[in-house]
């Protein structure tokens, strides 16, 4: 998946429009459209801004990695991965996940 496809996917996952993203990040709509459609590439500053906005790594955005999380801030990559997916859940689903985690804690493994 190339940069434009990943950006399009992230916009969909965040349930925003290109116009809204354009306004929030102060990127001209035609420029953002160029990124999404693959006929323009962002500069380093814009790439970092997009990665921060979507809470993914630059490596993920440019297709160098298939793992969307930022570089781990701690040595526990599994915890970072769980946190990434947890943030994407609805409040009700988050509650279910936490309930399941409490149950799993009771069983040694």
Q: What is the residue extent of each domain of the chain?
A: 3-61, 72-109
Write down the pLDDT at residue 64.
83
pTM score of the predicted model: 0.63
Burial class (CB in 10 A: 0-12, 13-18, 19+), 60: buried
Residue 82, pLDDT above cutoff 90: no
Pairwise CA distance, residues 61 & 57, whole Å: 7
- Each residue of 86-104: pLDDT tens digit? 877 888 998 998 899 888 8
Superfamily of domain 3-61: lambda repressor-like DNA-binding domains (1.10.260.40)
- Each residue of 22-50: pLDDT tens digit? 999 999 999 999 999 999 999 998 998 99
CA 85 to chain centre: 10
- DSSP-derived letter for residue 107 is S
Cα angle for residues 17, 22, 26 (degrees, 5° grid): 155
Distances (CA, A) of 31 to 9, 43, 46: 17, 11, 11
Residue 106, pLDDT above cutoff 90: no
């Amino acid at each position: 998946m190339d940069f434009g496809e990943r950006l399009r996917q992230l916009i969909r996952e965040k349930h925003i429009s290109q116009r809204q993203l354009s306004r929030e990040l102060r990127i001209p709509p035609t420029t953002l459209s160029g990124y999404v459609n693959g006929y323009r590439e962002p500069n380093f500053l814009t790439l970092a801004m997009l990665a921060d906005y979507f809470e993914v790594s630059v490596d993920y955005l440019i297709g160098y990695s298939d793992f969307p999380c930022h570089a781990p801030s701690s040595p526990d990559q599994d915890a970072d991965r769980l946190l990434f997916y947890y943030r994407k859940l609805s409040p009700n689903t988050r509650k279910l996940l936490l309930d399941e985690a409490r149950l799993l804690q009771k069983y040694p493994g």
